[in-house]
Structure 1
Amino acid sequence: MSHTPHELHEEFPEYAEKITAMKTQDTHFARLAEEYHEVNRAVHRAESNVAPVEALAEVEMRKKRASLKDEIYRMLSA
């Protein structure tokens, strides 16, 4: 599979070290990061037609990814 865009370290390069640290120190953050990773990969598979889904399902996955990203950002910037 090709490079998956929207990985957390690429979305928040200024927080790359903090992301790594928080994944090991904060179980809630680690769980959010893992869920983001799973949803992001699903969106990428849908967008690249590796695992196509209905348009509405893809929109919902993107909304979920955005929501997780917002929550992750709030934790990183706190």
Structure 2
Amino acid sequence: MFPEYRDLITSLKTSDLHFKTLFDRHNDLDQQIKNLEGNQDHVHARAEEIEVLKKEKLALKDELYKVLQKHAA
């Protein structure tokens, strides 16, 4: 995610608690989504849950990007 900001991400994960929290939550959601998509049991119930998680993950990604742009300026 955002390879052009790799160094800044590394820095912010240690210096900005809010950024670290967002980043960790984004990664947790990514793993949850992968786990749910890999489990083919209860496909219909999972599809709705996966959609909600993906929307939350996307919102976090947008917020992370705003923070990165702010600090890069």
In which range does the TM-score fall when normalised by the shorter chain?
0.7 to 0.9
1:33–1:72 Cα contact (<8 Å) kept: yes
Q: Which has the larger radius of gyration?
A: 2
- The count of residues paired between Structure 1 and Structure 2 equals 68
Runs of 4+ in 1 over 3 A off after TM superposition: 50-53
What is the CA–CA distance in structure 2 between the aligned matches of 1:47 and 1:69, rounded to whole Å? 20
1:15-40 Cα shifts (integer Å, max 9, x gaps):
00100000000000011011111001
Unmatched 5+ stretches in structure 1: 1-10
Equivalent of residue 16 in structure 1, options 2, 6, 9: 6
> Which of the two has greater helix per residue?
2
* Secondary structure in 1 matching 2:67: helix
> Identity of paired residues, percent?
32
Let me know the Cα RMSD of the aligned residues: 1.8
What are the ranges of 5 or more consecutive residues in structure 2 without an aligned counterpart? none
Higher relative contact order (CA 8 A, sep 6+): 2
Question: Could you tell me which of 46, 50, 70 is aligned with 2:36?
Answer: 46
